[in-house]
Structure 1
């Protein structure tokens, strides 16, 4: 079940029935819910620790049926997703990451245990050609995904 909270015109909580049959939960690890535009996404990795050879899969919540269901997403189009194993970091999505030198259709993943972070192109196994891995130089400061207000506006360009 998912719970939907409505804040206007009054506060109320609604339970939403969701079918999980479409998601191969047995082979996905590190599941994250991510708000992406007007979609709710479920992101998971095939592998216990995302590394070269692993892939990320993304499912979108489809509410067009009586019981909502998860539908596999093959492409994020002009979006990128940022995920960290640090529980203080909320998973985020970002539109048009090419504006700051990033890549669309990628899951950026940071592991605070190993101090590595990488970009995984959606549904493609990570390799030296399509991902890049960085090692942190210090364990004092760990990435926290922050979206400055100037980037949160919906602008194409």
Structure 2
């Protein structure tokens, strides 16, 4: 009878030990599964975070590209405006210089070809004429005998029509 009890006790102890080992193994398996699930979740979170960072970087690159494009457009517009202004100023200056040169050349050529000894200045610029040396008392005005007899009467007429 003692042998039977001993065998039963040994079997019970072995059964308890096996049950404990099985329980520990089951617990370890659950822990491993939980760890694997946590690792997978963390991996998914990391992937999502990386994707968000990449998208944010792409947005930043696009914003910078748009800003650069805007700056380039503004610079091009400013350069075009400056070029147009410079061209306008150059044209105005050239026209003014040519006008003055033509007036001066025609005026003095009229005086020289009309044998004028000096320039008579009256109250205003528009009534300044050449004085003819052959008739110092008369002014070389449009339609006068002095201009009509001069070798360059057309130049005198041009000057008077220009208001020189």
TM-score greater than 0.5 by the shorter chain: no
TM-score after normalising by structure 1: 0.20
| Larger Rg, first or second structure (1 or 2) | 2
* TM, length-normalised to structure 2: 0.19
Larger strand proportion of the pair: 1
